Amino acid sequence: MLSVKMKIGGLGYPSEFLDLFDGKDFDLYPHQEEAISKFREGNNVVVSVPTAAGKSLVAYSAIYETFKKGLRSIYIVPLKALASEKYSELSRLGKLGIRVALSIGEYDTSPSFIKNFDVIVCTSEKADSLLHHDPSVADELGLVVADEVHLLGDESRGPKLEMVISTIKYVNPAIRILALSATISNIGDVAEWLGSTTVNSDFRPVPLRSGIIYRKKITYLDGEEEKLKGEDEVISVVNSHLSRGGQTLVFVNSRKRSEDYAKRISLGMDTNLIMKNLDFFPEKGETDRYEETLRDLVQNGVSFHHAGLSGETRTRIEKGFREGLLKVLVATPTLAAGVNLPARVVVIRDLTRYSNGYSQFLPNMEIQQMLGRAGRPQYDSEGYAYLYAASKTSFDMANTYLSTDPEPVKSGMLQDSLLRFNVLGLISMGIATSTASIMDFLSSTFAGKTQEMVSENKIEGILEFLKDNEFIKNTMGIFTVTKFGKTVSDLYIDPKTAIILRDYFKEKHSDILALYTICTTPDVLNFRANRDEVEYIMEYFMDQNIIFQTEDEVHSAKTAMVLMDWINEVPINRISEKFNIGPGDIQAKVSSCDWISYSLARLSSMYKAEIRRDLENLNYRIKEGVREEIINLTMISGIGRVRARRLFSSGLKTLEDISRSTPELISLIPGFSTRLAQETIRNARRITGEIRS
């Protein structure tokens, strides 16, 4: 057993610091003590340890050390859900006078608010957008905490994180950096880029027992074998651990498989061990298309989880699993990179995924992310991580996963679209204003330190593109941003998106044309139109005098039609069934199109100011999913599109109608309790100015 030298209380912090840990004192793990010690000595530090090994404590210690020096910290995480979790935890430090802000909203906001806080928790994208507005914000910071820094290698999230860290380092070389990660095989490369020392450990608070499920038995890494009974080996594993009170996460490679396999497990489980009469869906509103299936499954303690579920449904399922009401969760790998949801047992049922036209094995890093969920520090003395092998080839690959390090982290920021976006950002921020200085900046990135540098010719081609399209001006080799270019950089959109939006102002405005235009931009990933939908889509847009030239335009049109139904208050479950897409997919698309719609409205003031009001209304309708007639009602706190429509249909059509109504009358409307009715009237009166906030 590893020896421990210090308790958390021995760090010399006030007792309120322990509020982060429910007021309890406990022993530091050796890697925690080492990392804290190295940070206190003035080093930047990269901490690479398994999931649930206490990396957050190191971050919170560094934040407090920074606060004591009168400096601010920024805590960067990959996802909004994780940002909310960290914000909730760090807010407990308010008793020490540490002011914490959560910044995950719109990208077109000034970073001036940072001066009012000591800790800012945000996503990589939000941090990058703040720097686009004013890079001097980096001078306000003393510490960057980069959580999940191994995601530098993720092609979607990694480039934003890399750009943020590179920009902050470039602007403020004195900044301290603490990078937290799961296992990184090339930690030396990351540390060299960051100018950091390293703390590298394979210690887990809950020991992990790993094995391969193959041909009716489990073969553990230590050579021990365990025979399995029953037709389905995974269900045998689930029941075995269920009898001992263990929850299981099963990862599969597609949404359809998660649904089908959850049903299969539900039929094969020992339901005598399950709590019955679980009600995860008490509210009746715009129901999720999966709700009826889930209602049946949860009665057997089983659920599935994937991005097609609505956000509300996913939240309920996650809560049920955390509370131990659900015993088995069958999920796609997106869960492993998202919310903190550990289990005693993790089974990776599918080692392959269909991609680029053929089935291929998953990256080792992704496998380790999933296996890392096994073992709950508060509840388990041991975690169990299993790989299911359907063939000898899969068995051999499973052995490789369990016996080798993950792939080296490799940058993805040298893609053409990202270079175009980042070069404009560098010029807009005033950080690099010549070809030579842009090349110098790029050489300071992780890509520049570890990969073949992008050619100067490519950068010159990007500069020419930006100049030809009026984003920048060139004066004797010095580039400056135009008003259009600065606006686009602040809006945090792809320059090619901006060109498409600017061209819209040459057309006659209509809601459907605006929606279609938004969906043709590279910032929007469209729903794919099925063959049996194409004729219907083309007929619909022919009536709008829009003719398609490419298949991609048909996909854009389908997405625009989804949005059109959404802003016309078609229930989300009906849209979901009509277009065969998940409610969660609709919500995600609304979120991305909301921002591009906002950008269109912003740009209209430069090119066609007379339609700005119409575009602002359209943007609000996309955000809320409402017809124009009830926009004012959804401005009331707690009133979404369903309740707003019920108020309108009941004759309460304006804020004034509601402010003059009574709780007794409003509580007769479905979905309104007496308390909500009272709050609705009070909030309406605040908006109309009848009472002060």
Beta carbons of 510 and 544 less than 8 angstroms apart: yes
Q: SS3 for 142?
A: strand
pLDDT reported for residue 5 = 60
How much is the average pLDDT of 243-270? Answer: 93
What's the total number of domains in the chain? Answer: 5
Pull the structure tokens for residue 173: 């070389």
Name the pLDDT band for 523 (thresholds 50, 70, 90). very high
Is 264 part of a structural domain of the chain? yes
Host domain of residue 680: 633-688
Pull the structure tokens for residue 153: 């290698």
Report pLDDT digits (tens) over 86-127: 999 999 999 999 999 999 877 777 888 999 999 999 999 999
Report pLDDT digits (tens) over 679-693: 999 999 999 988 765
Is 366 part of a structural domain of the chain? yes
First to last CA, the chain: 58
Pull the structure tokens for residue 476: 């004797």
Residue 208 β-bridge partners: 383
| CA 246 – CA 253 distance, rounded (Å) | 23
Residue 107: count of CB within 10 angstroms of its CB: 18
Domain co-membership, 55 together with 84: yes
Name the pLDDT band for 517 (thresholds 50, 70, 90). very high
Name the pLDDT band for 287 (thresholds 50, 70, 90). low
pLDDT reported for residue 546 = 86
Report pLDDT digits (tens) over 187-233: 999 999 999 999 999 998 899 999 999 999 999 998 899 999 888 99
pLDDT reported for residue 582 = 94
- The DSSP code for 550 is S
How far, CA to CA in Å, does 581 sit from each of 224, 255, 640, 641? 45, 11, 22, 20
Domain co-membership, 280 together with 338: yes
Is 2 part of a structural domain of the chain? no
Q: Which amino acid is at 136?
A: S
| CATH code of the domain containing 472 | 1.10.10.10
Residue 289 has pLDDT above 90, yes or no: no
How many Cα atoms are found within 13 Å in the side-chain-facing hemisphere of 100? Answer: 22
Domain co-membership, 368 together with 426: no
Cα dihedral: 655, 660, 666, 668 (round 10): -140
| CATH code of the domain containing 159 | 3.40.50.300
Q: Which of 625, 641, 670 lies at the terminal end of a domain, its last residue?
A: 625
State the sign of the Cα–Cα–Cα–Cα dihedral 517, 520, 521, 524. Answer: positive
Is 370 part of a structural domain of the chain? yes
Instruction: Give me the sheet containing 208-213, strands edge to edge.
Output: 225-227, 217-220, 208-213, 383-388, 345-348, 248-251, 328-331, 302-305
Q: Phi-psi region for residue 425, left (φ > 0), alpha (ψ -120 to 50) or beta? A: alpha
Domain co-membership, 643 together with 510: no
How much is the average pLDDT of 620-642? Answer: 95
Domain co-membership, 92 together with 168: yes
355 Cβ partners below 8 Å, 6+ apart?
A: none
| CA 150 – CA 185 distance, rounded (Å) | 10
Is 121 part of a structural domain of the chain? yes
Residue 662 has pLDDT above 70, yes or no: yes
Report pLDDT digits (tens) over 359-412: 999 999 999 989 988 998 878 889 999 999 999 999 999 999 999 999 999 999
Domain co-membership, 161 together with 23: yes
* Per-residue H/E/C for 70-125: CCEEEEEECCHHHHHHHHHHHHHHHHHCCCEEEECCCCCCCHHHHHHCCEEEEEHH
Residue 1 has pLDDT above 60, yes or no: no
Long-range contacts formed by 394-397: CB under 8 A, 24+ apart: 394/214, 394/351, 394/352, 395/212, 395/214, 397/351, 397/361
pLDDT reported for residue 494 = 97
| CATH code of the domain containing 539 | 1.10.3380.20
| CA 413 – CA 426 distance, rounded (Å) | 14
| CA 17 – CA 93 distance, rounded (Å) | 7
pLDDT reported for residue 3 = 44
How much is the average pLDDT of 588-606? Answer: 96
Q: Which amino acid is at 398?
A: A
Report pLDDT digits (tens) over 34-46: 999 999 999 999 9
| CA 309 – CA 326 distance, rounded (Å) | 17
| CA 299 – CA 214 distance, rounded (Å) | 30
**Residue 468 or 689, more confident:** 468
pLDDT reported for residue 87 = 95
Report pLDDT digits (tens) over 358-373: 899 999 999 998 998 8
Q: Which of 141, 165, 200 lies at the terminal end of a domain, its last residue?
A: 200
- Written as one string, the DSSP assignment of 335-399 is GGGSS---BSEEEE---EEEETTEEEEPPHHHHHHHHTTB--TTT-S-EEEEEE-SSHHHHHHHH
Average pLDDT over all residues of the chain: 92
Q: Which of 403, 424, 449 lies at the terminal end of a domain, its last residue?
A: 403
Is 408 part of a structural domain of the chain? no
Domain co-membership, 213 together with 341: yes
Domain co-membership, 253 together with 178: no
Domain co-membership, 396 together with 307: yes
Q: Which amino acid is at 559?
A: T
Is 513 part of a structural domain of the chain? yes
pLDDT reported for residue 2 = 40
Domain co-membership, 104 together with 217: no
How much is the average pLDDT of 285-293? Answer: 76
Domain co-membership, 155 together with 230: no
Is 409 part of a structural domain of the chain? no
| CA 688 to chain CA mean position, Å | 36
Residue 284 has pLDDT above 90, yes or no: no
Domain co-membership, 190 together with 146: yes
